[in-house]
Structures are given as structure tokens and as C-alpha cells.
Amino acid sequence: MVRKLWLPLLLGLAAATGAAPASAATGVVVRGAGYGHGVGLSQYGAYGFAKQGREYEEILAHYYTDAELSRTDDQPVRVLLRHQAPSIALRGALRAGAAAIEGRRLYTARPVGTSRVELRDRRGRRVGRFTTPLAVSGTGRGLQLVGCAPINGIADGHYRGTLEIRRSEGGGLTVVNELPIDEYLQGVIPGEVPPTWPAEALKAQAVAARSYALATNVAGEVFDQYPDTRSQVYQGADAERPSTNAAARQTALQVLRHDGKVIVANFFSTSGGQTENVENGFAGSEPRAYLKSVEDPFDDVSPLHDWRLGYTTRDLEERLDEFLKGSFRRIEVKERGVSPRIVAADIVGSKGRTEVSGATLKAELGLYDTWAYFRTVRGAKLPDGPPEPPEGGSGCLRLERVSLAGKAERKPKRGRRPARPAPRPKPPVPTLGASLGVIARG
């Protein structure tokens, strides 16, 4: 649920999406709409509703038909932060298990034996050996996981709640952040939508994200949620902003239910004007009364409300090589959903045809959405193609923590050089995810 694809980046994608300049060639022009999987709440649509003065309850009722707004009990959420790490460095911890420790010091945990971890300070003095899982806690936003957490891409991040250190299967250590659901949301909402958006759009996002988290459990015993697009983008306490914290607080413990159960409240970036039934958006999904196609009248505020992409015949043959029989001829859509996103299509070659899903076609061609129409052109000027995938890299982002007043919370002490910021990762190509949002939710 990242990797922010907020308005400036989306504007850039909409204005200059191609890897190569437009050219006169034989190929296919794709006319499409939307960005994401199309199921549930459209974030830009919610933004548009909020700009029209609609309140979050009305926004949620529009997208999640036949769902009711209610309250839930406070529940903890367990989020995976590190896995199979050879060691874990911490700062700001006040307790490790039953042992009191000095919060200002840096501590390092390493695996010892078959089931224990050893904690030492920066001078190498042993604090103790602990049976796992070891719960390490601090206060407020003071608990810091030092170094790069490659799963969510945050460097030297601070976290609320406790950090639970476990032995990983296959060696190394796993770190799971356990914290109350609404504190978790404070680190999720600003990773999913811009904090500058209207308050009612942020509150709608808060309820959707809370419902989604409580209705899904990706792993079971060790952790509930990934911190990335496989679940929702969770960036910890450093991502918190006054506006998004207010959205979590003003909707405290509110969830959406259907038949008494918290719903899987999918959300995504841009609908193109209409959302899609869940059974058409996700292959193998059963129909759900609360995830039906609805018109989205204010989604046109998104720069990817509609779009065009161009492909040469050679480009299509390279991209579709796994499915293509002979030389490329055309793409024939066999079934569309309500919106009308592609459910199934044939890739037609000179030696036969292959049926693929709309999601497969989207992934192979790098489309923003499965809402797409294909037109063969000859000798015409093609629009730019989809963005090039980013080069590989493991850069982490160090977020600037702000106070609830919106000012920088920490300044370097006089005479001390500020830490050099970690390299900023390149923005990702849009990818399909469980709740593909304004960010690329994969």
C-alpha cells in the first residue's frame, strides 16, 4: 500500500511517460483511463468529493456500497520491518524484555545459539542474552531502528509501540513492530495519500486503511502486515503529519462492516470515471456486495484520469514474447467488466492466439490500468510508450520527523555535523497491488 506517486509525480508521468520520443511507425495506440486495479475507493475520486464539500461518511458510502460504518475494539497490529538480518541496531530503547536499558545508547542484537539473541552496547559490553521473541520498548516516537529497513525503504526510522526481535527461519533476525491500530494508521495514511489533501479525504482514507488492516492477515503467527505495497505502505513515526494524525484521531476505531464483519476495503489511485466489481478486478475473487462498480464523477482531478500510450510492433513482440505465437497481429478483447476494464483478451499472432487476463496484459505492457482500448496504426505518429522500469538499487529514504505543530522536531546540536541523508530511491513503475493507491501499491 510505496514510494510516493503523489500529484507532482503523477503530473510528470502524465506529461512525459515515454521511454522514447513519439515517432511515425507501425504499431498500436492504447487509449486508457485510470490508474490501479479499479476496486473500491478511488483516492483521487475521494479527493474530488472532498473538494465538493462532501463529508467522509458520504464518500465511504459511495464507494463501499452496502457497508456500514461502525466501531471496533482497539487491537494491536504487527508489521514486518526486517527479515534475516545478521544484526539489529537500536537506539531510544528503555526496556529489553525485563531488563531496563539506557535509551540514549546504541545497542546491537545478534543471534546466539539456536534460539537466543545477545544484546550489546556500542562498546561491546553485553547487556544480556534473551530467549526470543525479545520485546524492546521505548516511549512515544523515540524507539529507533538504526540503518536501512529495506522492506519499507526507511533509514533510521522511529517507531511507536514495541519492536519484537525474533530468530528468522533460515538464519538471522526478524523485527516486527507491534502497536495499536490507530498508531499504526498514523504511519500509514501519509504514505498512501498526500497530507495536504482535504481533511474529509484523509478521514475516508483512514477508515478504509483501518478496515483493510483488520480484515487482512498475511502471515499469521509472526506478523500481520507487510510495510509495503503487499499490504499498506507503513513508514513509521517519522512519516506522521498533523493532518493525517488528526484524520486517524477523528475517526478513532471506526471501520466498515458488511454482515457484521470488517470488510476488505480495497482502494487505489484513479478510477477514470468508474470503479469495477471485485470479481472483475481480481482474478478468482468472489463477488462482494460492498465492492461493486460505481460511477466516480469527481475523479477527473487526477492527471491519469485518461491517458494514451504508443507501442511499435517490435516493442509489442518483445513485451508479449511469452504469449505470442508467430508475429504480432493484434490484441482482441474478449470480455470487459462493468467499467469497462479488460477481464480477458486474446494476443493474436500469425500462428495462433493466446488468451490472457486483463491483469496480465496490464503487467506485460506496463499499462496504468486495464481500462484500455487498442487501435492499430500504420505510418502514424505514435504517442510515447510507458515509463522505463527504474534501475535496481537498495537506497533508503530518511524522513524528516515533524512535531504536531508541523515544525522540524530535531535539530543537530551546535558544533555537530548533521547526518548525511540516505540516497533517495527512484520512483517505481506503477504496479498492481492489493490496494494500489496514489502511491504505486504493489
Quote the pLDDT of residue 436: 42
For residue 65, count other CB atoms closer than 10 A to its CB: 15
Tens digit of pLDDT for each residue in 190-237? Answer: 999 999 999 999 999 999 999 999 999 887 789 999 999 899 999 999
Q: Do the beta carbons of residue 338 and residue 277 sit within 8 Å? A: yes
Separation of alpha carbons 419 and 408, rounded Å: 15
Does the structure show a pLDDT above 50 at 238?
A: yes
Displacement of CA 207 from its chain's centroid (Å): 16
Quote the pLDDT of residue 82: 95
Helix, strand or coil for residue 106? strand
What angle (nearest 5°) sits at the alpha carbon of residue 144, between those of residues 136 and 181?
70
Separation of alpha carbons 165 and 173, rounded Å: 7
Does the structure show a pLDDT above 80 at 321?
A: yes
Domains of the chain, by residue range, sit at: 7-37+302-381, 41-70+183-221+232-300, 76-181
Quote the pLDDT of residue 24: 57
Q: In what order do the strands lie in the sheet with 254-258?
A: 68-71, 254-258, 261-262
Report CA dihedral (359, 362, 365, 366) to the nearest 10 degrees.
Answer: -130
Q: What is the rounded average pLDDT of the residues 350-360? A: 97
Helix, strand or coil for residue 262? strand
Cell 488468451, residue? 355
C-alpha dist (Å) from residue 162 to 137, 158, 346, 373, 411: 5, 11, 51, 49, 25
Q: Do the beta carbons of residue 30 and residue 311 sit within 8 Å? A: yes
Separation of alpha carbons 93 and 70, rounded Å: 36
Quote the pLDDT of residue 127: 92
Going 63 to 66 to 72 to 76, the CA torsion angle's sign is negative
Question: Among residues 401, 311, 420, which one has the least CA distance to residue 92?
Answer: 401
Angular region, 36: left φ>0, alpha ψ -120 to 50, beta rest: left
Non-local (6+) Cβ contacts of 346 within 8 A are: 331, 332, 334, 353, 354, 355, 356
Global pTM exceeds 0.75? yes
Tens digit of pLDDT for each residue in 38-86? Answer: 999 999 999 999 999 999 999 999 999 999 999 999 999 999 999 999 9
Residue 103's pLDDT band (cuts 50, 70, 90): confident
Non-local (6+) Cβ contacts of 186 within 8 A are: 160, 237, 240, 244, 245, 248
What angle (nearest 5°) sits at the alpha carbon of residue 351, between those of residues 349 and 357?
45
Query: What's the number of CA atoms in the CB half-sphere (13 Å) around residue 251?
Result: 32
Q: Do the beta carbons of residue 275 and residue 266 sit within 8 Å? A: no
* 242/426: higher pLDDT: 242
Separation of alpha carbons 336 and 53, rounded Å: 33
Question: Among residues 228, 216, 180, which one has the least CA distance to residue 82?
Answer: 228
Residue 397's pLDDT band (cuts 50, 70, 90): confident
Helix, strand or coil for residue 189? helix
Q: What is the rounded average pLDDT of the residues 242-258? A: 98
